[in-house]
Amino acid sequence: MSQKYLTVLGATGSIGSNTLDLVARNSDKYEIEALTANQNVDELAELARKFNAKMAVIGLESLYSDLKAALSGTGIEVAAGNQGLVEAASRPVDITMACIMGAAGLRPTLAAVKLGNRVALANKECLVAAGSLFMSEVSKYDTELLPVDSEHSAIFQALDDSSKRNIEKIILTASGGPFRTFSLEELKHVTPAQALKHPNWSMGRKISIDSATMMNKGLELIEALYLFPVGPEQLDIVIHPQSIIHSLVSYIDGSVIAQLGAPDMRTPIAYSLSWPERINTPVEQLDLAKIASLSFEAPDETRFPAIKLARQAMLQGGNMPAIMNAANEIAVESFLCGKLSFMEIPAFCERVIETIQVQIGDKSPLSVEEVLEIDHSTRIMAQSLNIM
């Protein structure tokens, strides 16, 4: 494999760190072009030096001079703010790892799409908020879009071009999160510290809370709808607490193809970087005899109503997925700082959707600018609901 240039948008996060861990182990295969973060100047500067990045960008403009000082004398180009993030994403590279958290990743990720090379997509919120618009840019620029989410990577690995016409169903697995066995009463009292402790995966704060409410699985349904050639009725969820099977594709002849592996994001990240080849990772090989048994159960939408809400958003389409996504980002932040209880997260999202759709209707956004406007209005609305 010839050496590839790589930009990591969201380098200081959980996916960013795992990506850079793989780059360090495969330094003959990957070279870093640009790295970005939002506020973590020290870590960004350290990574930029360590990986000889050509450019480092900090999202918060007020931190520009701190980053400039931290990288002085290195020759590494420094920028800040939304424009800086887009500039970093627009530098020609072979692969962009898109792992900024939330809708904030939309503009830079689209800038990377416009390069027409490979985008490894972890930032599922891009597809939730702007699915059709995002995918039409992918086809316009003939971009190679590789899923990083473990479920979508599993589905990608279980599909080949000839079998795409014969899919009966796609089944997304879900661990069920830290509260899988909690009663409704117990769920009312869970704390941010409990919700941040995922039983199988180590992840950033927002996705950890999304996994606990199971909104994450709802967002993944919408993500799968745009990534794969299926309709909403062909998307199912099954709870699989061990997180060994990462998802399955069921075909019309009765075959079901699954992808298995230890719950370590370095496997799907490695695949998104190296496809169609594979590279070594330090991920532990599966010992099936030791695992002994795998179990499955149906999701419970009464205890985890976020799944139902996301399914409704997927079916309704229009601006609802973008509104739900923004409302959820705000609700998660509010839960983490003690302003909402755990069970209020989906209830709050529902209230925001209802209120804002009365104001702006439910028409589909026609441009990325309109998606960002919807995102912005939703955040303002949430503030007026007096929880921020």
Residues at the site binding ligand NDP, with contacts judged by CB under 6 A: 10-16, 37-40, 59, 85, 99-101, 104, 122-125, 149, 201, 203-207, 265
Measured distance CA(315)–CA(307) in Å, rounded? 12
Residue that has been written with the tokens 């330094």 in this structure: 27
Task: Write out the two tokens for 79.
Answer: 């920028």
Helix axes 344-360, 368-384, angle to 10 degrees: 120
Q: Which is nearer to ligand NDP, 101 or 310 (CB)?
A: 101
Measured distance CA(339)–CA(337) in Å, rounded? 6
To ligand NDP, the closest distance from the beta carbon of 28 in angstroms equals 25
Q: Which is nearer to ligand NDP, 94 or 223 (CB)?
A: 223
Q: Which is nearer to ligand NDP, 357 or 377 (CB)?
A: 377
Q: Which is nearer to ligand NDP, 85 or 159 (CB)?
A: 85
To ligand NDP, the closest distance from the beta carbon of 215 in angstroms equals 10
Q: How many residues does the chain have?
A: 388
To ligand NDP, the closest distance from the beta carbon of 185 in angstroms equals 29
Q: Which is nearer to ligand NDP, 251 or 275 (CB)?
A: 275
Amino acid symbol at 365: P
DSSP three-state, residue 296: coil
To ligand NDP, the closest distance from the beta carbon of 306 in angstroms equals 14
Measured distance CA(330)–CA(328) in Å, rounded? 5
Measured distance CA(195)–CA(230) in Å, rounded? 32
Q: Which is nearer to ligand NDP, 137 or 183 (CB)?
A: 137
Q: Which is nearer to ligand NDP, 2 or 93 (CB)?
A: 93
Q: Which residue is nearest to ligand NDP (CB)?
A: 13
**Residue-wise burial string across 155-186, b where 16 or more C-beta atoms lie within 10 A, e elsewhere:** bbbbbeeeeeeebeebbbbbbbbbbbebeeee
Measured distance CA(4)–CA(252) in Å, rounded? 39
To ligand NDP, the closest distance from the beta carbon of 318 in angstroms equals 22
Mode of pairing for the β-strands spanning 256-260 and 245-251: antiparallel
Do residues 44 and 157 touch, judged by C-beta distance below 8 A?
no
Mode of pairing for the β-strands spanning 167-174 and 144-147: unpaired
Q: Which is nearer to ligand NDP, 184 or 380 (CB)?
A: 380
Q: Which is nearer to ligand NDP, 141 or 201 (CB)?
A: 201
Measured distance CA(278)–CA(33) in Å, rounded? 22
CB atoms near residue 233 (< 10 Å)? 8
Max distance between CA atoms of the chain, in angstroms, equals 63
To ligand NDP, the closest distance from the beta carbon of 43 in angstroms equals 7
To ligand NDP, the closest distance from the beta carbon of 3 in angstroms equals 24
**Residue-wise burial string across 31-49, b where 16 or more C-beta atoms lie within 10 A, e elsewhere:** bbbbbbbbebbebbbebbe
To ligand NDP, the closest distance from the beta carbon of 319 in angstroms equals 20
Measured distance CA(30)–CA(44) in Å, rounded? 18
To ligand NDP, the closest distance from the beta carbon of 357 in angstroms equals 25
To ligand NDP, the closest distance from the beta carbon of 16 in angstroms equals 5
Return the C-alpha torsion angle 274, 135, 246, 232, nearest 10: -160
